[in-house]
Structure 1
Amino acid sequence: MADNFVALMKQQQALLATAKKRQGLLPQQRTTRRELQQEYLTVQNGNHLIKQTFVGEAYEPSTAEIIELKPICIRELRLETHHTGRPLLVRVFCNAVRVTAVQTGIEDEHDHEPYYKATSNGGVIVGVDHPSDFVVLDECDTIVPLSLRPRVQAVEEDRSAEEVKKEGNVAVGLKQHRKALKLYSEAIALCGGEDEVLRRDLHRNRALTNHHIGQYEVAHSDAIAAVIPDVQTDDTRSMELNTKAYLHAGRASYNFGHFEDAARMFTEAIRMRTDNDVNIELARALDRLRESKTGLFIFLSDRFLGGLPPRLDCASFVKNTEVRSSPGRRKGLFAVKSFSAGDLILREKAFCSSLGSDNGQTTNMTINLNTQRMSVGTHASLHTKLVTQLQRNPNQASAYFELYDGTKSSSIPPASTANPPVDVFRVQSILELNAFGLRDAPPEPSSPSTKSPQKALRPANDSTATFLRASYMNPACHANAYRTVISDFLILRATRAIAMDEGLTIAYTRPDPASLDYGSTFSHWGFTCECVVCNAELHPKGSISHRRKVVKEADDFAASPANEASDKVTPTKAQPGFEPDVPKLGVTAIAAWLRRACMLDSTEPGKCIKLGTTALSSLGFLPSIVFKELVIDRTHCVVKDVVVDTAVYLSQLYEVVEGKDTMVSAQYAVWAEEMWEICKGSKRGFEQRYGA
């Protein structure tokens, strides 16, 4: 599969190189209108299970008003050229289809034949990459040339705002929300200066329509514009209308995460008139406010046994973190208070997510020729969702465009509520460097004694999301924080003690000391990891290949006895750079395997304890017994699920060796539950897997 992706990337690079040779030329052949209609009819009837998107050379979106620009016609367009500042006015004559992009047939007032960018089959098309560069005009708009307007235009009397409003209401009933939005806007423009009652009705209706489309920011503005001022308590009708307006405003605020404003709007609605729906909405908003202030979530309780939806209705808890400039990095996420190991640092709701269940049987693929990267699955489909969300809610765009995009500095594009420009190339660059693969952490019902426990985890790339706050965390293989994801909710806990103002770090990937690419793992993000783990694995250079070889052999248990493999691995981790507290990741798998094998022989619990301790030490957890109490040094720890199993086994072993009243056994049991909470995000499922 990987070879196919590489071949596809090379094919697109070759096509781009060929197209660039024709840059600035006029095309020699163009498809006729009839041929194009037939081609689109064929494509429209096809079944496209793979949607490919090719990201070409980046350019900025237009920020000018269309009336300020000099139009260009199709015959003037040149191949592989961005005609900056020249709008093209065309008419669509085919139904749009989605293949490698949304495509349709067009014609202008001079050429009733289409055009113009080199395609994989040798044809040409007109390409518009930024959705904000694409403007749908009314067919009778004064900007539209007469030859492109309808040949027969209905002669009708001037319609009143009330009549247009009724048409909008009909469109809403048919769920034609885009059409309704256009009609309500037209009706508002027709309202006279004294017709405030009708104007407020239209704003209230348009607020609901904008909400259906997902344009929450303008929905909120419309709802506030619909509020009737200075209403008397005996004016029942006005009180009822204001309740609806405040309800729409509150729901809009709720949907873009402004829960405090949402609660205020719902409170105002209840003040106008008691309504059960508003009471429910207010309770939800207050729950979100409580979550954002306390970090307590009902669904994370170990007493919560219900199933969870793929997208959770919850708030983010991020008040204990702060984004700041970071030495050696552009920015980072810092702790504003001290944390102990296992403490909750943040819980964050995804800014935007694409779930595997969203796309059905369709596979999405994005090939970015600017960065030479390819994305498949939900990572690719998330780009479309992000562009849509940012265009519909431009105030959210500023926060997203603050994220790292691979350049040394970031600039926030200007926003316009009428037609906000969204740079799709920059959205993609930020997505490639900041997306998180979602991997649920549900309870695991299998017991430790099961030889091959079946994990109820979806593949790591099954779903993808962006998190605005968590994205600022810098990397370290021996990170001081560990993330887990439940549905579209990211949970971050401390893996060791964290001081106030200390930078928060997470492991971007799972380090593999046997990999030939070790040391260049982070090239995707444009840096080299210099944590103690990577420095140890890469020093001295002369022994790296030998260590990789023996670690690879140790993973192949069928090729050599386990103990022999252990004897071969251990000396390679005693070389310079591997201080006692530095994780030795190549030892972990073999040590854990030996510990499980030893557990089958109950006559040697002492040996099992030693092997369990070795497994923990290989991950940077250094246990010691001081005055019969367990002390664990986790300065450079690397968190993995195997830590929990090992801690539970050690608890059981110490109980066998020292008796049920041993303090060490109890402390290992407590520590195992703490590590489970770090690895899984909550204590849910711990008792089910390991018993009380």
Structure 2
Amino acid sequence: QSQQLRNPPQQSHPHGTPQKRSPSPSHRPQIQTEDEPVYVLTLLTDKPHHDRMTALRKQYFPKHLNKLEAHLTLFHALPGSKLDSTVIPTILSVARRTAPFKLRANKVMRMKRGLGIALAKTQGADQTKDVHAQLRDAWSQDGQRWLSEQDRGGLGHVHYTIMNKVDDVEDVERAQEEVEESFKGDVGVAEGLVLFRYDRGFWRWERKFEFGGEAPSVTLCSRRKWFCADRNTSLKRDISTKGRLFAFWRILHAVQSMHATESRALSLEKQQTTMQILKDLAPLAAWPDDFKMEQYALWSSLTEQQRQLLRNAGALQGLPLIDKMSREDLVRMFVKMSSLVDESIDTQPDTGQQSFCSMPKAYPPSTTPAAELSRLALSGLRLGSRHAGKVLIVRTIGHPKSNGGVESTVKDEFGSVAQLAIYNTDRLLKTDELLPADAVFALKGPYFEVTLGSACLRVDHPSDLVRIHPGNTLMPEDLQPGPADLGKTPEDCKREGNLAFVAKRYPAAENAYSQGLMTCSEHDDKMRCDLYRNRALANLFLRRYDRALKDAKHSITCQDEKLYHSNDDPRIASDAKAWYRAGQAAYGLCIWMDARKYFERARALCGKAEREDVERQLERTAARIAEVDHAAYDFEAMSRSASKVYNRLDHASHIKHVEKGDTGDRGRGLFAKKDFKSGDLIICEKAFCTAHSDEEGQRTVAFHNINTGSTARGIQTSLLYNIVQKLLHNSSVATPFFDLYDGGYSPQCKARMVDGVAAVDTFQTEAILEHNSFGFNGRISENLSASDIKKHQAAGNRSTGIWITASYMNHACDGNATRAFLGDMMLVHATKDIAKGQEILIPYLTPAMDHAVISARLQRQWGFTCHCAICTAETKGSQTQREKRTALVKKADEMLSQHVPDLIGLPNAIVVAKFEELYSQLKDTYDPRVFATAPRVALVQVGKWLCQSCWNYWDPVKLAETAVRVLRDAGYGITIVDQQLQVDYTHCMIGNGAVDGSIYAWTAYSRQGKRELAEQFKTLGKQLYFATRGTMEGLPRGMISGSESD
């Protein structure tokens, strides 16, 4: 969005630039001091509506006095002393439970010295007053009277002021006549609230609060874990003195104020003062006392405070950390913080905990081997800086904890200590597998982050953290392990790795095998091959297929079978295992032809006991090759195989008949390499990577990206982690992923191999996901038990993923294709005939009854305006028609929610008559010249309701007419001549309306005895149903068996 109210730069927003505007005396609250800041709260609206109302204000407001854009004010003077303790938490709480609502500014009202445009009572005014009342009541409890006299009262007329401070009555009257003549109203969406601050007579933008957020639990630890709030509970912690939490807020404001006013490097005295303030925050925040606050409000408020601190941390950049903690103090604080986190989970094991973290300003990963970088000690680190070209060698102390990232305490060879946090790690691994105790790591280009507690080493790119094994030349003398580790033989390492593998500690097994290879003699071929082969198996379980394939090939002793000494040569059995593991790795990489070749080599060498398993792998591989070449899918079997929610299916992608290309005005797109008929399968693509909410476990994470201003939660962050790990260890699949659109991210960094892994830019990865990931609902299989289905539905489980080829499909509301999901397989079917070379388009969002809602979402989420036939038609016609349609759509929403169709009983005849009248009124708002072929979206749902009423009344003639009308309203050109159905798909939109319309038509004509025509509608219904769902599950049995009575 380009609207300045959303992410207003301090210098460009009209409210952000100092403007002379003092509050009137009647607006003043009961402030404590004369210089206490005062705040004003307004409504946040969508940009198009905001711009139109601002243009009207600029036209009539005296130009020499107009310093502001159009605004709707709720509170005029909120005291700064109540900001953090009461004002912000309450606003956040109300905003969270308030959904965005439509508003209509339509009534010109005369003011004392000007004009206003009031909101319609039921379209914005009542909702705004309700928000105001909730806030006012919360701030007026227990007899508190810190609100101004005006703010304690009601809102009166909720209005935009478009003219004010005009003393000439004739000028006001003339302007009123012009506005009443030309202004016919304007519709918008209220999306949240905006807080402004009075500063010595000026009005400055402070922050925004969007409507409709969720209510997750929160963790903020050392860097971010000082407050823990479990879902559905109030915050309860121990603190020695009441009121210390408020001291925390005051200290944090002091730091912010200091940073905001200091643009140059701080003096030594100020450095020490600032760092002491930051250090003081830890005990204040770690042990709060008797403080109860609605948990989402606390989470959001702390989040915003932390964002502000991160933005202002530049004042400390480049400075050394003066007030360092001792090793004992740091470890003690780390253990205490960790225990608080564990306690919060133990007290609410079913609700879990959410951690919040902020992504720093983007920086690229190191692409230089650790051995070629210059050494750096902890004492040489500078705050807020990334030390490019440097490497820091540290050893972990104690056991790590997971809290957003994985955190531990580390020391360098000189005995200095610091806290280390790594992000975007493998969620399948335990914390002590990621940062095991007493392990030595090389941090490439270490980033020393300013935090609320002091400072912390931060690793955002996992490739920047390299495990250093004993014997490595990078290992400092003072960090060398004890004699027991240094004296390990390759046999010891192999034995240790095997024990770890049996215990399913695969990272430990991989590490042991790697250590054994470092000490193994180049002349000991058998041991070296054993270690490679075993490491290949460990990497298979870790899904590191590139490395597994490489290790498996390294472990093969004889490439030519003729070189074996005899049929009893012990190398045969070992090589059979190696070829088999190579086949498994190639299969995991979707390199099907290579997988078949490797499995065939294994089959030629293996014994009878192993041959059955190898044959099974060859059958699987042959099935994948058939899917790639011929789309040889058994969709019903595929559907049955999804016996678990969000199952990852074992299938290959069929994408051979499409190609990416240049669209001209929309960047790249996906194009057909052959002709497709309506209903044809275009692609069936397996997800590159997915994440599912039921895999989140007890801890979920929210990441705020300061580079984009967006916040990702739950499965969105899980998808980022999963993809980073996949790319990190499987560089062969990185090229197609990084070729996707990333929004112009810079600098570009190729995922080259360095220090055994791919140097993956996490920030670029996140940018690609922001523009290309798909959210989807996993289909609930009929094979699930009733309890599983109930659990799934109660959890509101959702999934997200990325499909490389499908990501190139552009949007059109009336697209020529639609997508469906079976597990992690995306099925794209043609909804219209598509010629070779034509672009394939899908609707990102299903067209809704209210076109303005869809347009706003497309602009907000993807930043573009759709110009398809539906959108073009919706914007044509008179303003009066559009306003009337908007009002009728709201009425339709209310009626549809109040009168849910009963599949058995007869609907009330009066209600049916009201729906028929509503349908007629809605139809009149569509200009037949404009909508001659374009879908009339608002009619479809009302038409479906009328179909059900005809079905209940057993009126097949009227049902047939109504069902065909639904199809035509959905854009299908339906022609029936002599019981022959002809369908023109040129302008159709696919969705439940079309599916239901065809099923109702089949039922109606079957009841009339017109079997031939009924069969044609049945075929249409099955085609549309399969295209939208990818399976026939859930289709009325009669559509399959042929009996309408079923």
- TM-score, scaled relative to structure 1: 0.90
Matching residue of 2:327: 33
Moved more, 665-674 or 373-382: 373-382
- Verify the 8 A CA contact 1:404 1:430 in the aligned structure 2: yes
Listed as ranges, the matches of 1:209-608 within 5 Å are: 209-229=538-558, 230-231=563-564, 234-273=567-606, 274=608, 275-301=611-637, 307=643, 310-407=647-744, 411=748, 413-416=750-753, 418-441=756-779, 462-514=798-850, 516-523=852-859, 524-539=861-876, 542-543=879-880, 544-557=882-895, 558=898, 561-574=914-927, 578-603=930-955, 605-608=956-959
1:44 aligns with 2:338: yes
Q: Which residue of 2 aligns with 1:129?
A: 460
Which one-letter code corresponds to 2:819 in the other structure? Answer: R
Distance in 1, matches of 2:782 and 2:841, equals 27
The 1:687/1:375 distance shift into structure 2, 3 A limit, reads: same
Aligned pairs for 1:60-75 (under 5 A) are: 60-75=364-379
Which amino acid in structure 1 is aligned with residue 1026 of structure 2?
A: E
Bigger CA radius of gyration = 2
- Specify the code of the residue in structure 2 equivalent to 1:402: D
Change in CA separation of 1:76 and 1:391 when aligned onto 2, cut-off 3 Å? same
One-letter amino acid matched to 2:631: G
Bigger Cα displacement from structure 2, 456-465 vs 584-593: 456-465
Contact 2:318–2:384 under 8 Å retained in 1 = yes
1:402/1:412 contact within 8 Å kept: no
Q: CA deviation at 1:462?
A: 0.9
User: Paired residue for 1:54, among 358, 369, 380?
Assistant: 358
Give, in whole Å, the separation in 1 of the partners of 2:673 and 2:970.
28
Q: Distance in 1 between matches of 2:641 and 2:478?
A: 65
The 8 Å contact of residues 941 and 993 in structure 2, kept in 1 or not, is answered as no
> Which of 993, 1009, 1017 pairs up with 1:668?
1017
Moved more, 632-641 or 411-420: 411-420
How far apart are 1:55 and its partner, in Å?
Answer: 2.1
**Measured at CA, do residues 564 and 21 of structure 1 come closer, stay the same or move farther in structure 2, by a change above 3 Å?**
farther
Match of 1:638 in 2: 989
Shift of 1:161: 3.8
Residue type at the aligned position of 2:449: K
* Structure 2 portions without partners, runs of 5+: 1-95, 97-211, 214-295, 346-351, 420-447, 784-789, 900-910, 1042-1046
Structure 1 residue 299, shift from structure 2 partner: 4.7
Distance 1:158 1:594, change over 3 A: closer
Structure 1 residues 260 and 571, CA, compared in 2 at 3 Å: closer, same or farther? same
1:7-37 per-position Cα deviation (integer Å, ceiling 9, x unaligned): 6764443232222333333344344322322
- Cα distance change on mapping 1:457 and 1:348 into 2, 3 Å: farther
Question: Is 1:621–2:972 an aligned residue pair?
Answer: yes
The one-letter amino acid of 1:424's match is T
Residue 392 of structure 2: SS of its match in structure 1?
coil
Q: Does 1:682 align with 2:682?
A: no
Q: Which amino acid aligns with 1:614?
A: R
> Which digits, 9 at most, give the CA deviation of each residue in 1:576-629, with x for residues without a partner?
7x33111121221112112222332234x4333332223222221121113431
Q: 1:276 to 1:473 in 2, by over 3 A?
A: same
Classify 1:538/1:352 alpha carbon distance in 2 versus 1 (closer, same or farther; 3 Å): same
- The answer on whether the counterparts of 1:19 and 1:80 sit within 8 Å (CA) in structure 2 is yes
Deviations 1:398-430 (A, max 9, x none): 121111111289956141061311111111111
Select the structure that is richer in strand.
2
Paired residue for 1:450? Answer: none
Q: Is the 8 A contact 1:440 1:457 kept in 2?
A: no
Greater CA drift, 640-649 or 607-616:
607-616
Rounded to whole Å, the distance in 2 between the matches of 1:570 and 1:285 is 55
Question: CA 1:424–1:203 in structure 2 vs 1: closer, same or farther (change >3 Å)?
Answer: same
Instruction: Tell me the alpha carbon deviations over residues 331-388 of structure 1, each in whole angstroms, 9 at most, x when there is no partner.
Output: 2111111111111111111111112221234433232222222223312211111111
- RMSD over equivalenced CA pairs, Å: 3.0
Matching residue's letter, 1:106: V
Rate the CA distance shift 1:307–1:206 in 2: closer, same or farther, 3 A: closer
Question: Hey, what's the Cα distance between the residues in 2 that align with 1:34 and 1:159?
Answer: 32
Match of 1:448 in 2: none
Evaluate the alpha carbon distance shift between residue 95 and residue 159 of structure 1 in structure 2; reply closer, same or farther with a 3 A threshold.
closer
- 2: CA distance between counterparts of 1:300 and 1:350? 19
Distance apart, 1:233 and its partner CA:
5.5
- Residue from 463, 468, 473 that aligns with 1:142: 473
* Whole-angstrom CA distance in 2 between matches of 1:302 and 1:184: 38
Using a 3 Å threshold, how does the CA distance of structure 1 residues 42 and 642 change in structure 2: closer, same or farther?
A: farther
- Provide closer, same or farther for how the CA distance between residues 9 and 526 of structure 1 changes in structure 2, counting only shifts above 3 A: farther
Higher mean alpha-carbon deviation, 536-545 vs 370-379, is at: 536-545
Whole-angstrom distance in 2 between the partners of 1:437 and 1:149: 48
Cα distance in structure 2, aligned partners of 1:257 and 1:130:
26
Give the 3-state SS of the residue equivalent to 1:90 in structure 2.
strand
In the alignment, is the contact (CA less than 8 A) between 1:438 and 1:462 conserved in 2?
yes
- What one-letter code is carried by the residue in structure 2 that aligns with 1:630? L
1:554 positional shift: 1.7
Aligned to 1:15: 309
Query: Deviation at 1:687?
Result: 4.6
**Shift, 1:546, TM fit:** 4.2
Cα distance in 1 for residues equivalent to 2:1040 and 2:491: 68
Is contact 2:659–2:671 with CA below 8 Å preserved after alignment? yes
8 Å Cα contact 2:814/2:988 also seen in 1? yes
Cα contact 2:687–2:803 (8 A) shared by 1: yes
Q: Which amino acid aligns with 1:394?
A: S
| Higher deviation after alignment, 563-572 or 211-220 | 563-572
Matches within 5 A, 1:82-97: 82-97=386-401
Q: Which runs of 5+ in 1 are unaligned?
A: 446-453
Q: How many pairs does the alignment contain?
A: 677
Which deviates more, 477-486 or 557-566?
Answer: 557-566
Residue 319 to residue 457, structure 1, CA distance change in 2 (3 Å): farther
Distance in 2 (alpha carbons) for counterparts of 1:337 and 1:177: 46
Query: How has the CA–CA distance of structure 1 residues 156 and 30 changed in structure 2, closer, same or farther, with 3 Å as cutoff?
Result: closer
Deviation at 1:305, TM superposition (A): 8.6
Matched AA of 1:636: H
Decide which moves more: 347-356 or 68-77: 68-77
Q: In structure 2, how many angstroms separate the alpha carbons of the residues matched to 1:307 and 1:102?
A: 34
